[in-house]
A and B are shown apart, each in its own frame.
Chain A
Amino acid sequence: MNKELLSILEKNSRITPSEIAVMLGTTEDSVKEEIKKLEDEKIILGYRTLINWEQVEKDTIKAYIELKITPQAAKGFDRVAEKIYKYPQVKSLTLMSGAYDLLLEVEGETLRDVAMFVSEKLSQMDSVIATTTHFVLTTYKKENVIFQHPDTDPREVITL
């Protein structure tokens, strides 16, 4: 039941173990036990809230930054990544295939914050060859949720 349980929780982490038990046709205790195990194994890493910040504070600046790195031996990328993800400005970091190596999601309060972070921190690192910064203008969809969508049911109210 692991995958099914995880996909239910991924959609809505506020759903209760007893509700999940009903959905999966099992007992509340076994759901609790399973969740505990998944937490211990660090498969479940946390429970968050998906927020459309654009509706709350218009001032946060978000950017995706592509980094090209000097070629690395086996674990080399991991070491570079460790240096980068320690910065609190870096919200996510992934190793990519293709034209660049690392993709960072960076947040700052102003455009300048982000620009300074790139020029003074990232560009200064020995292993960084090149950076490309893309500022986020609008988020349409995230975590499989469409952000600006009138949520109305287009169906007739009753059909037989």
Chain B
Amino acid sequence: MINYENVISKVAGNIPPSGIRKFFDIVSEMKDAISLGVGEPDFVTPWPIREAGIQALERGKTHYTSNAGTIELRREIAGFLKRKYALTYDPNSEIIVTVGGSEAIDVTLRALLEPGDEVLIPEPSFVCYKPCTALAGGIPVPIVTEEKDNFRLTKEKLLEKITPKTKVLILPFPNNPTGAIMEKEDLEEIASVLRDTNIIVLSDEIYSELTYNGKKHVSFASIDGMWERTVTINGFSKAFAMTGWRLGFAAAPRPLAQVMYKIHQYAIMCAPTVSQAAAVEALRNCDDDVENMCREYNHRRRILVDGFRKMGLSCFEPEGAFYVFPNISSLGYSSEEFAQKLLEEEKVAVVPGNAFGQSGEGFVRCSYAYSIENIKEALRRIASFVERHKK
């Protein structure tokens, strides 16, 4: 008999299982629950993009592409980064098309980390940074972002956590789950700390197209002097409602990109060919679709924020992504208790904030990637729950 504990890698075995697995299972079983728990668009991929995918299949594009992705798509990506964020990357040597933003994150960390290197991770944030860091031999170091700072990363908080071992800073903005963004001035502050160091920034900008209140996303690499130390990660899932196509990309200075390219080449070979063909269409002709979806999200965002505030809960106004992160601590329950009771009593599913790091405790994440009818019904139920449990 094999003792599996002895054969499984220590690092992989020690990755903690998701603490809210049980909660997920209950929600999945409950057929009539209303969920605000989904982290992907409710929109179906715009038709022209789907059609481009179908056409690729019809034309027999069923083979590998070059490892970094088709040059056609890499050129479109370079054009997109230039036109939207004033970033210049060479499509031949500085852009890699990946299997979602997730692969880009993994490849970046593996290309950079030596055992013991520290990776600064602002929290609350998406769940993959810590395990990917650990698997690459690094040490995750959380930096708590707070409601009072609009969940932005501040210079002071960053300075507190920098040590001689700090190798990477992750910048997950616009942020999942808080909806926080970093404006140009905020990024300048961060840049002023990093300028004379060797710290590399992994800027996860997957929600870059979804910002509100007229605040256009600013790319960290566009800040003076930061291009050379930044890996810009983005993708098609959120902006173009293409989650299932699994397509993202990383753009980085050539010496970094070359190493990332090697890892990608051996681990993945290339991103899905059909998805790449569809993505070319997305970048060429679908700005209007993105704008329309964004306008739609904005309406729902305002309804949710307004709804929570009317219940008397403190609710930070998110300016990016598609999540609202209300503070539920005044009810006296932990995030998990709140989510569990809400599900049991009103059949509404939200995600406990502590799923995104310990500092998410006291909050819950509510997605507005749902129809307005769905959101209004969920708000009605949550309001009656809050009314009943108010202290």
Shortest Cβ gap from B303 to chain A (Å): 6
User: In the complex, which of the residues A8, A19, A156 contacts B38, with contact meaning CB atoms closer than 8 Å?
Assistant: A156
Give the contacts of B341-359 with A (CB-CB under 8 A): 349, 351, 355-356
Q: Is A24 an interface residue (CB 8 A)?
A: yes
Give the 3 A-B CB pairs with smallest separation, nearest first: A158-B37, A23-B299, A159-B39
Q: Is B126 an interface residue (CB 8 A)?
A: yes
Shortest Cβ gap from B213 to chain A (Å): 8
CA–CA, A160 and B176, complex, Å? 8
Which of A's residues lie within 8 Å of B, judged by CB? 4, 8, 12, 15, 19, 22-25, 153, 155-160
Contact between B303 and A158 (Cβ–Cβ < 8 Å)? no
Q: Is B194 an interface residue (CB 8 A)?
A: no
Q: Which of B298, B299, B355 has the most CB of A within 10 A?
A: B299
Residues in chain B near residue A159, CB distance under 8 A: 37-40
Contact between B299 and A153 (Cβ–Cβ < 8 Å)? no
Shortest Cβ gap from A139 to chain B (Å): 20
User: In the complex, which of the residues B126, B302, B351 contacts A25, with contact meaning CB atoms closer than 8 Å?
Assistant: B302
A-B contact pairs, 18 of them (CB 8 A): A15-B372, A19-B303, A22-B302, A22-B303, A23-B298, A23-B299, A23-B300, A25-B302, A155-B38, A157-B24, A157-B27, A157-B33, A157-B37, A157-B349, A158-B349, A159-B38, A160-B39, A160-B127
Residues in chain B near residue A15, CB distance under 8 A: 372
Given A19-B303, A25-B302, A158-B349 in contact, is the A153-B42 Cβ separation under 8 Å?
Answer: yes
User: In the complex, which of the residues B299, B306, B349 contacts A8, with contact meaning CB atoms closer than 8 Å?
Assistant: B299
Residues in chain A near residue B351, CB distance under 8 A: 158, 160
CA–CA, A8 and B302, complex, Å? 14
Q: Is B295 an interface residue (CB 8 A)?
A: yes
Shortest Cβ gap from B178 to chain A (Å): 13
CA–CA, A153 and B367, complex, Å? 14
Give the contacts of B90-106 with A (CB-CB under 8 A): none
Shortest Cβ gap from A30 to chain B (Å): 15
Q: Is B66 an interface residue (CB 8 A)?
A: no
Q: Which residue of B lies closest to A22 (CB)?
A: B306
User: In the complex, which of the residues B35, B176, B298 contacts A157, with contact meaning CB atoms closer than 8 Å?
Assistant: B35
Residues in chain A near residue B39, CB distance under 8 A: 159-160
CA–CA, A12 and B303, complex, Å? 15
Give the contacts of B294-322 with A (CB-CB under 8 A): 295, 298-300, 302-303, 306
CA–CA, A25 and B298, complex, Å? 10
Give the contacts of B215-260 with A (CB-CB under 8 A): none
Given A22-B306, A153-B42 in contact, is the A158-B24 Cβ separation under 8 Å?
Answer: yes
Q: Which residue of A lies closest to B298 (CB)?
A: A23
Residues in chain B near residue A22, CB distance under 8 A: 302-303, 306
Q: Is B28 an interface residue (CB 8 A)?
A: yes
Would you give the 0/1 interface string for B33-65, flagging 1 where the beta carbon is closer than 8 Å to chain A? Answer: 101011110100000000000000000000000
Shortest Cβ gap from B291 to chain A (Å): 12
Contact between A157 and B38 (Cβ–Cβ < 8 Å)? yes
Residues in chain B near residue A158, CB distance under 8 A: 24, 27-28, 35, 37-38, 349, 351
CA–CA, A159 and B27, complex, Å? 11
Q: Which residue of A lies closest to B365 (CB)?
A: A160
Q: Which residue of A lies closest to B307 (CB)?
A: A22
Residues in chain A near residue B24, CB distance under 8 A: 157-158
Residues in chain A near residue B40, CB distance under 8 A: 155, 159
Residues in chain B near residue A19, CB distance under 8 A: 303
CA–CA, A33 and B33, complex, Å? 39
CA–CA, A23 and B300, complex, Å? 7
Given A155-B40, A155-B42 in contact, is the A160-B303 Cβ separation under 8 Å?
Answer: no
CA–CA, A22 and B176, complex, Å? 23
Contact between A24 and B299 (Cβ–Cβ < 8 Å)? yes
User: In the complex, which of the residues A4, A25, A156, A157 contacts B295, with contact meaning CB atoms closer than 8 Å?
Assistant: A4
Residues in chain A near residue B295, CB distance under 8 A: 4
CA–CA, A8 and B24, complex, Å? 34
Residues in chain A near residue B298, CB distance under 8 A: 23
Contact between A160 and B35 (Cβ–Cβ < 8 Å)? no
Give the contacts of B322-366 with A (CB-CB under 8 A): 349, 351, 355-356
Q: Which residue of A lies closest to B373 (CB)?
A: A12
Contact between A160 and B126 (Cβ–Cβ < 8 Å)? yes
Residues in chain A near residue B176, CB distance under 8 A: 160
Residues in chain A near residue B302, CB distance under 8 A: 22-25
Q: Which residue of A lies closest to B350 (CB)?
A: A158
Would you give the 0/1 interface string for B138-178, flagging 1 where the beta carbon is closer than 8 Å to chain A? Answer: 00000000000000000000000000000000000000100
Q: Which residue of B lies closest to A12 (CB)?
A: B372
Residues in chain A near residue B38, CB distance under 8 A: 155-159
CA–CA, A24 and B300, complex, Å? 10
Q: Which residue of B lies closest to A25 (CB)?
A: B302
Q: With contacts A23-B298, A158-B349, A160-B126 known, what are 10 further pairs, Cβ within 8 A?
A: A8-B299, A22-B303, A23-B302, A157-B35, A157-B349, A158-B37, A159-B37, A160-B127, A160-B176, A160-B351
